[in-house]
Amino acid sequence: MKTYFLIAKRFLFPRNSFRSNTINFISFIGLFIGASSIVLSVSVLNGFQNILQTETKKLYGDYLIEDLNNLNSTNYSQDLDFDNINTSIFLEDEFLIVAQNKQHIIEFKSVSNKSLNEFYELNLKENLKFLSEDEIIIGKSLANRLNLEVGDNVQLISKDLKLNSFSLPEIYSFKIANIFSNRILKADDFLVFGVNKEIFKKNNVSIELNGNISEIKNQPFSLLSWKDRNRQLFEATEIEKKITFFTLLLIILVASFNLCSSIMQISSQKIRDLAVFSSIGMKKNDIKKIFIIYSYLIGISALCGGIIFALLLILLQNNFSIIKLSSEFYLVDTLPMQIYPADIIWLLVGSILLIGIFASIPLRFINNLSPMKIINKQLW
């Protein structure tokens, strides 16, 4: 095997052969660019996915228990036997918000002042203070839509109206105490926080939790995770990541095809050497091993080089924030990048399989190798 490796290495670095070196370099650079492109692209998608996950948990926590109508809200922690888990009990319903002759459907989420300060992580315009019953916190997009500022007054109208000739809609007046932003989920266009519970017609109590669910003892209720509550959004990001990965894998496919051409050209250039190897007793399978080793010397070195190059760029970006973004549109001011070992493993496995498949194609040429005919042809 050592002999095969040395011969393959000699084919890879031939002396005084500009053409062979050029062919090898083109094969190498194609795989190098393909590997680095995949790692960099997937790392960016992972980075934004992590931000999406973080921003989701800021508003919704890790898990949700819905509609605890049979639960006494004042003793919920005893009934559910929570231990070392941060919780937020809340009521939520749809209302129509009206201000300055404009209106919009919103989700009003009534929580405690403690939850606002300790459970939810809101990106607020001003420092959070204790909310009174007639104060609310609205989103930045909603404030822009209705031309509202902190201190303005709005009205909420319940959507559960049963109008007849003798009834009028119930209107509740509130003052805007603060404004939060969450552009990734667009929650700041419809979500409103408050502490008033008197305006709810239905007492549908729900609980959001932060912590390890294994610590919940004797849990009689089903849990919805933050991902379950935004399933369509996160499934779309996963599909986008997979499509990007397999699309960029086409670069590896093209580079592998180029490697196939390189093997054919190198074998044509080294035809006399191959005939000599065969004439001195080297079997055709042994000659094939030389080219397989040659293929993987180029392939694995290019893949590892491309991955290491991409990892260095990711390290530089995460530590020195070289690529800047507009926080107004992306919520972050630098390009987020994150790569996982599983992504690199999938890249290596897929690429090595492609290289192996394409490297085996030109080896059929060796089956037709006739050493005596080639040597006689060279002599004459």
Q: What is the pLDDT along the chain (380 residues), one digit of tens a residue?
A: 677 788 787 777 777 677 778 888 988 999 999 999 999 999 999 999 998 888 888 888 998 987 676 555 455 555 555 667 888 989 999 999 999 889 999 999 999 999 999 999 988 988 887 899 999 999 999 999 999 999 999 999 987 655 554 567 789 999 999 999 886 678 899 999 999 999 987 777 888 988 777 656 556 677 888 888 888 888 888 898 889 888 888 888 888 888 888 888 877 777 777 777 776 778 878 888 888 898 999 999 999 999 999 999 999 999 999 999 987 777 688 999 999 999 999 999 999 998 988 888 887 766 665 555 555 555 44
Q: Which helix (H) or strand (E) holds 263?
A: helix 231-269
Q: Name the pairing type of β-strands 206-210 and 63-65.
A: antiparallel
The pLDDT of residue 372 is 53
Tokens 């459907």 belong to which residue?
105
Nearest C-alpha neighbor of 174 from the set 155, 158, 190: 155
Listed in sequence order, the residues at least 6 apart from 213 whose beta carbon sits closer than 8 Å to its beta carbon are 62, 63, 219, 223
Angstrom distances, CA of residue 354 to CA of 291, 318, 350: 15, 32, 6
- Quick one: which of 346, 334, 348, 345 has its CA closest to 44? 334
The answer to whether residues 195 and 120 touch, using CB atoms and an 8 Å cutoff, is no
Distance CA 10, CA 39 (A): 31
